[in-house]
Structure 1
């Protein structure tokens, strides 16, 4: 690890000095479980919520002490000086963006549409309306991932050689019934987090190799994925994702393994183990010749990672940050990588030579 005199690894995004009021559009599970708990934890002001399901919006507002439940999207869009947190399904994003005022500041829930054509339309709408918009790719902002990125930036692990994402667990897909009709599920709704986090750590790959699989008895199109990301040597990047290891906890796993010439890091994605209850996230780092050391974490993926995109967006809008990390043009590149994975999965494998 870093020398004792080195400052602690970064684990949180700086808060905006003068936070603007937040209007949450969409009051489903992600708003209840992550967005509003994160904003309450950080003291960011939520001035109102809107959802076509007014009863659900009212219940969420009461639970979190939010003053206003807007009766229409137009009334929510009229809130002065607001930052609009769009926690709605991706197929609704374009219509919501077009209902928000030109020049609005917007955080869109991931994914940025369900395919690359939708992502292009969203990007075009944001540019045409002069809006400042980011996409809530929040894993890269989780305490353990910010600390890992800081570790790599300091050179603590030397030259980056390996990134492996390994999931072998039982995901309760019944909690997400809206995914059943989707022709694409696992990569665009789940592994997109890992693809975006890898881009944040290592930049854009040159290409991909991929395969996606369903599971017997599952109504979902695909829930098991293998991906190899093609980076210049010596970096090797792989993802092995299985959401159906329902054979007790012992060998279930959810981890990032990162190795360099001088050290290695292991990240445990505890949230995914027994989701949504989860286990604590973990970050372990070792230097060559040393012992593994656990880095104390100041929070977890839920809800703390959800502060990063909102804080970065607010600070960028006020001029405190010079870079909007997941702005729509960068988010489009994550969507392009997702699209490449699906395209690669349709390609035939190289045939084995025959006599």
Structure 2
């Protein structure tokens, strides 16, 4: 299994990166990934200059720009690691034709995603969205196994998440009317789209929880890919009963083989556990695939590498371009619309006999 693709090719002449936004995801994922890849970070900008300066000093004294205008004036690739409500104003401040990586999600709903996509087109931006799970070593390997025919005709994709997520680390989510699908499960939905394309239709139900102030933190989803491929997601962020039965799995099965990935980053987040990938032919044996990197932070190298290679003409396809990201957001929107519809009522017995 060591011949499976696990990393995106690197650009031959990487450009420097300006990061806009200095929250926890930049500290824990973007900066470690870029250092590991050998990318140069030209500087940081955040409206909270104190937070930006603190982060910069922790990373060897990175340059901190005093304004968005100053940051946007750099000859660099722009990594916008800000909440989606800020995306449009930041994009409007960048030079026309700039190369941009946007933090997911692409807006909070499809209308927001459409506005961001149209703004990128109007300004001629080379723009991609940081859906990094599909670039992780385990998901790239699964995709390659499918391409090589090792799993055969696909019959099953299941995502099973049953654990405790420390939502207090994400206070910006409290006012949002939509939380779980658009801010968390969107990773799995995008990875599924990368493997098998768009479904014909969807079913979803999202739920809150008595211990949470957030709108929704548990979801059941079914994606319709016809009569052969069964795709479902079961997401529960409130299994606070010890580690024994907590789970974070992405399972793919076909007629001739199967793969299962452990999403270790989600278990005991943000400390996390190691990712795992296991693959078997029909009737075994299962083999553990040595992984070249983890979802956090290594997968964050992939979107930036693809973006820079595409901008330089080295990659023919920008895998998570804003137009493709819009399709992921359209899937999210369909799931929320399904959530708003009543279920099919049960037949009733006649009582007039």
Poorly superposed stretches of 4+, deviation over 2 Å? none
Q: How does 1:1-355 map to 2 (within 5 A)?
A: 8-80=3-75, 82-355=76-349
User: Is residue 50–residue 69 contact of structure 1 (8 Å, CA) maintained in 2?
Assistant: yes
User: Is residue 158–residue 260 contact of structure 1 (8 Å, CA) maintained in 2?
Assistant: yes
Deviations 1:146-180 (A, max 9, x none): 11111111110110000000001011111111111
- TM-score normalised according to structure 2 size: 0.98
Deviations 1:236-265 (A, max 9, x none): 000000000000000000001110000111
Distance 2:155 2:165 in 1: 30
CA shift for structure 1 position 290: 2.1
Q: Could you list the runs of 5+ residues in structure 1 that have no partner in the other structure?
A: none
User: Is residue 58–residue 69 contact of structure 1 (8 Å, CA) maintained in 2?
Assistant: yes
Deviates more, 1:172-181 or 1:325-334: 172-181
- TM-score normalised according to structure 1 size: 0.97
Secondary structure (helix, strand or coil) at the match of 2:205 reads: strand
CA shift for structure 1 position 8: 1.0
User: Is residue 49–residue 66 contact of structure 1 (8 Å, CA) maintained in 2?
Assistant: no
Cα 1:268–1:57 shift into 2, 3 Å: same
RMSD of Structure 2 on Structure 1 (CA) = 0.8
Distance 2:61 2:257 in 1: 47
CA shift for structure 1 position 67: 3.6
Q: Could you list the runs of 5+ residues in structure 2 that have no partner in the other structure?
A: none
CA shift for structure 1 position 78: 0.2
User: Is residue 48–residue 66 contact of structure 1 (8 Å, CA) maintained in 2?
Assistant: no
Secondary structure (helix, strand or coil) at the match of 2:235 reads: strand
CA shift for structure 1 position 59: 1.4
Secondary structure (helix, strand or coil) at the match of 1:183 reads: coil
Count residues in correspondence.
349
CA shift for structure 1 position 58: 1.1
CA shift for structure 1 position 65: 2.5
Secondary structure (helix, strand or coil) at the match of 1:240 reads: strand
User: Is residue 70–residue 76 contact of structure 1 (8 Å, CA) maintained in 2?
Assistant: yes
Distance 1:203 1:38 in 2: 28
User: Is residue 46–residue 66 contact of structure 1 (8 Å, CA) maintained in 2?
Assistant: no
User: Is residue 263–residue 288 contact of structure 1 (8 Å, CA) maintained in 2?
Assistant: yes
